[in-house]
Structure 1
Amino acid sequence: MTDAPPIRDAATIIVMREMPEGRAVLMGQRGKSAAFMPGKFVFPGGAIDPVDSTVPLAAPLDLRCAERLQQESTLPPESFAAAAIRELWEETGQTIGAQAAWPDAPQGWRGYAKRGLRPSGAGMHFVFRAITPPGRPRRFDARFLLADAALLTSDPDDFDGAEDELAHLQWVPLARARQFDLPFITQIVLAEIAALETGRAPESVPFFKNRDEEREIMRLGLV
């Protein structure tokens, strides 16, 4: 009998854009041979790298966003913003940041720094958190961050800089998202963000807490 996989901290970014069909989100399709969620359409995201906790943001996260990210976490909240932005860049070629010199950028961020950018937490909202249920080959404690496409410092229709982890990168209208092959948790997240007023943080953050010893749905940020 093999040991259960560890639960890794992760960050996911939902970039939302106003389009003729209404609001749309940036998504791509995972490869059919991928170990985690093969063939599914997902938002850009992935595990936190140790270096992400050392990245100096050009602008800080909103205080309420940072406080909620800090709940039930041992990592600094900035690490989730940094990881989300890094995954967005790697998987889609899109960038969020501010023009700033970064001569001592760490490994994994040097290409970003060569563009004259440092990642920025300004305007990002923490909107959802979920732990992958037991029994999956990989498990993540994922924080979902929402960002308006106006924060992009890149052409939102240019995916030439993307790595090959996600295929069929596109802006998916919220009204048609359920026509795609989505993970169950992604469907729930889409319903949550569809109910949000554009540009506003949620009153509280849903947390699907699927640890082995406890399974519950709670809300972070409730007073």
Structure 2
Amino acid sequence: MPTSPVQPFDAAQDLRDAPRAAGPRQRPKDAATLILVRAGKTPEVLMGRRAPGHVFMASKWVFPGGRIDRADFTASAATDPAPASRARLEAELPPHRARALCLTAVRETFEETGLILGRAAPPASVAGPWREFRQAGALPDLAALTYVARAITPPGRTRRFDARFFMADASALLAPEPTAGSGELDEIAWLPLEDARALDLPSITRFVLGEVAERIGATTTRPLPFVRMVRGKHLVSHD
């Protein structure tokens, strides 16, 4: 059975989202993003609006996420990544870095929204950015993550990331509603897919939102899109 159609990417809008900036060429930093989905007759996704003062994507609506942290390489978890996602990640990265990026997605979502994608566990005292997560009585549930897309920020931007996008069902959350989080997002909400499409979104967020819409309820395996710039032109390949 054929897969659903692949999503179009708006290259012109991507250039308008974050114009080129003067300065030395930056290497992209590994990062991870999590798209939480509430299934139902009208599926919803969790999104947040970046505060106006941000240098990168100010006032845009995005999914929670951020760059990898050293602590993500050693953090404990309740489960391992699901075999399919693990195999795809490890085709691109060493196993320890692939696992760390899964943890990045969970940690950043907790920091920005207060939501815990995890399983109940005795509270533990640890140092560093995982402290509050572990004190809340949870361990990350990496098996709940599905690797759905990858994108590298084009050269010349004020920030560059090699971002892996993960998707997870909200049923894996220990609590269903977000809190204020760290303040990086000045508004957080569960939104129907069609309402989310109407927001001021970065082009890559809109692209991945379309990918998520195709995956909800899908019965076939979809190719994994990889968005990047090659020789000055945007390229979208599918694995």
What TM-score do the two structures reach when normalised by structure 2?
Answer: 0.83
- Please tell me the root mean square deviation across aligned C-alpha atoms, in Å: 2.2
Distance 1:58 1:199, change over 3 A: farther
| Aligned with residue 70 of structure 2, among 43, 50, 59 | 50
CA contact (8 A) 2:151 2:227 kept: yes
CA contact under 8 A between 2:178 and 2:188: conserved in structure 1?
A: no
SS in 2 for 1:187: helix
Matched, 1:152 2:173: yes
- Are 1:189 and 2:208 matched, yes or no? yes
SS at match of 1:13: strand
Partners of 2:29 and 2:89 lie apart in 1 by: 15
> 2: distance between equivalents of 1:48 and 1:212?
27
Matched, 1:72 2:92: yes
Please tell me whether residue 4 in structure 1 is matched to residue 25 in structure 2: yes
Q: Output the amino acid matched with 2:62.
A: V
Residue range with higher mean Cα deviation, 52-61 or 39-48:
52-61
Runs of 4+ in 1 over 4 A off after TM superposition: 199-202, 211-215
CA contact (8 A) 1:57 1:78 kept: no
What number of residue pairs does the alignment pair up?
217
Sequence identity (%): 37
Equivalent residue number for residue 17 of structure 1: 38
Q: CA contact under 8 A between 2:123 and 2:136: conserved in structure 1? A: no
Alignment of 1:113-152 (within 5 A): 113-152=134-173
Q: Alpha-carbon deviation of 1:4?
A: 1.4
- Pick from 158, 163, 169 the counterpart of residue 182 of structure 2: 163
Matched-pair contact (CA < 8 Å) for 1:98–1:118: yes
Alpha carbons of structure 1 residues 47 and 57: separation in structure 2 relative to 1, 3 Å: same
Distance change in 2, residues 1:216/1:179 (3 Å): closer
Q: Residue 36 of structure 1: which of 56, 75, 87 is its match?
A: 56
Unaligned runs of 5+ in 1: none
Q: CA deviation at 1:5?
A: 2.1
> Structure 1 7/200 Cα, relative in aligned 2: closer, same or farther at 3 Å?
farther
